[in-house]
Structure 1
Amino acid sequence: MRIIKLDATNSTNSYLRELISQDIVEDFTIISTKNQTLGRGQMGTVWASESSKNLTFSCFKDVSGIHVEHSFYISMVTALAVLKTLQELAIPKISIKWPNDILSENKKICGVLIENVIKQSQLQASIIGIGLNVNQTEFDNLPQASSLKLISGKVFVLDEVLLAVVLNLKYYFEILQTGNLEFLKSTYETHLFRKNKPSTFKNAEGLMFSGFIKGVSNDGKLQVLLEDDILKVFDLKEISLLY
């Protein structure tokens, strides 16, 4: 494991992608920064983080042995690694909001942005960006955000949390590389936010509807049970879960 620490960068994912283009990067190379000025989230959202208070880092992972149709398992592994870390830190009521946000109760404490490198229809590498709210206590205009300190009342050492996340990433990637997909999927689904609870969704056209989250398909689409016992799958651009 190689860790490169930066005082500031626009995006750890972008920095790591540039590094990959220039040189051979060893597995589990980490780019960590105190201040990420242009952090990105899913669907083009912005990830805002107070300097030196949180974990903002990206991890390089060689995924050349994973079939491209199983690429969502990289997302599952990442979510499970963060979740396991938070369990070890005694953070209560943790769940995974599809596809890979981490919540404590209804509050978001971690976001993930995964960018896969694909060549000739084959997975080559993943750049796994993780933003974890650790010691920040004020989130202006973000009522659904929280942090480990707000939840637990404790101040955490960022390097210790980072190391724990990376060790758990290694643990779950080893399971993925052995081909035990069923274990990963069932564990991920066990922790899905609002699974089997009546929930309200909004589709791409802005129309609201109700359903029950049942799980995910092998390619990462959300399985929702609708009226008349119809099970329908949705991808990230087609649906959003409303609280």
Structure 2
Amino acid sequence: MKIALVGYGKMGKIIDEIASSKGHEIVARLSETPTAENLNNPDVVIEFSQPEAAFINIKNCLELQIPVVCGTTGWLARKAEVESIAEANTTAFLYGSNFSLGVNLFFALNEKLAKLMRPFDEYKVQLKEIHHTHKKDAPSGSAISLAEGIMAHDARYNAWKLEETKGAELGIFAIREDEVPGTHKVYYRSDLDEIEISHTAFSRNGFAQGAVIAAEWIIGKKGNFTMKDVLFS
């Protein structure tokens, strides 16, 4: 494939290494806004930039009918708009809050546990995420995905909120520590005991590898997708 990397920070550089090692050609490495001129006619764009830049980056690429794989978090208020742009331009868009294989298995486990715990009101659920101090958004996109997975199967909760919550709000604790790639925990706690599931990333390489796999998968597709489609369809 010919891949354009939009956003060339730490993640972009790791994606570059992994994609190149698999024989793909990197035709653009952009820290600026993508255009028809600087993208250099790629087969797919992988977008890992900043929350404030993501929407216009994705929009520009989709309007050029280039499929986009996006891993930037913190901009999702405009995700529905992006999906409409993808459909209007008969191309493909894939958003992942986390591209790691292990995390996506963890998402599925989280939903399974939420279904099992649904009848047991004595257990209250909370989430915790720990990331490096350079991460700008809180909670993480993966923590939001976990919260949404729980809310889809547990009618007690209809919203998430940072820190301690009451009633129908699902609490997410966001912690920032030096050089932590990403840790996510889900707790079900009663007065008698606690059930915990967790995922800990050891490096960013798992995220980057999954993004390249998603880019390989999306070629020739039309519509809007997630990592569930890549891994489980």
Same fold, TM exceeding 0.5? no
More strand by share: 1
Higher relative contact order (CA 8 A, sep 6+): 2
TM-score by length of 2: 0.30
TM-score by length of 1: 0.29
More helix by share: 2
